[in-house]
Structure 1
């Protein structure tokens, strides 16, 4: 006699399992999926009965995946991702508008130089940008993509790295024309998550240089000040490519200060993929 095949559980139960496992909470999964906590709990119970296995260990402050649940989760996530991707490619209408949140410096220095490439590959798409200053600002936005600084491991989000941060001293040729040692020149500082001049001195085993007399809250402002000859900038090589190529800034040493963190383009894992997503990400991830 032919062996009886096991029937698949309803897709809705599987979606509830994935959200609960990813978020570590039936309540959080209910909020994400628009269900009640009781409905989530019932679907998980039905799924466990269908599979004949316990998927979660219920705790006072949430739920923890069982060994069998941990083993099944990556297969579930891969299958759901493939369903979303194939549906977007086959059935979804072209996206006419895509929104991106990023810092003003990343928009100006990384995205704007790539707009021509984006327009040639996605001529029908209108791009809308939201400027953010701090990480909590992302929580108030509803955008398709966010460009974030960090390690790329935000809960519930996919991320592809755009560039790593390598910092090096840069200055305008007009400032260097004085003939003085660049290490004695005025320095420019930028507020934010990047390493600064003290980190540079420590890494190079050098005595601290002059205290920066100019400090800006965006990297783009610091860059413009350096181009104007106001001082030496500890600059991001990725964001200063244009200024260096045009001769507005000059590298002062071959040494660089490498940061583990970098910039990533990120989107919510729960949002379905769409056909234009890959082209946009490819354009923005281009060196």
Structure 2
């Protein structure tokens, strides 16, 4: 199996999960899907999460692992990962496939907002692969029941970002082009400091006000010069940057929260290759590429800038503010 065949298989996997999850949302009440299924140290799994998880291992074993052994990394697994076919030694696997079956569970289970299926693939060679070793990434929108269009994006390293928009009513797919914002400022655009959950809001809000005041000037308190979007889905935020909806996103929770469990993890950010291949700048708080292992537990700080001009304008102020608040 080559990388092109792997990409096609992963796209089919995503489409299968999307169909199963949307059908469940149509057939079951939101309160049923919102039941807590399992409480992990780093996150909560709801009933809706189990739908995607049930599909993954069966599909990969049938469609991929029969051709090449792989390590599957996914939240909800006993050890955080498993090797397929069963009985294969970890060092004999060719690829590591990290998956988030549903990123954005909370919004989807209450039918407030789309969720995303996220997958990244790295070679399983030498030392344990890191996020920057991912050479293939796919993310697929799980739409609301009332929504008939669903987007899918993917990237192979060095080959740019591609996409398709799927019509659930007709079955048609149309090409979808990445188009990050080319705006030179965040004026009248979306610029978000992530704070999804209770705890740490005071420090995050103070940091946000400090940075935005430096970037926008005193007018920050006089007019709504920029806006935020607390989309509880890292994949959804990556999509927003790629498609020109968002200009700046900063998820600094690991730096400013005492409890790092409620923050971004590698499986949440495993499709950042899609953004980088589209021209979006994704980095850590120092401005360097994100460096984290492909696991389900490591806290991840990440920042996304739609273009280099925004990065050059905002990042110096952000670094200065972080020195103060750290």
TM-score normalised per structure 1: 0.30
> Greater relative contact order (Cα 8 A, min sep 6): structure 1 or 2?
1
TM-score normalised per structure 2: 0.27
Which has a greater percent of helix? 1
Larger-Rg structure: 1
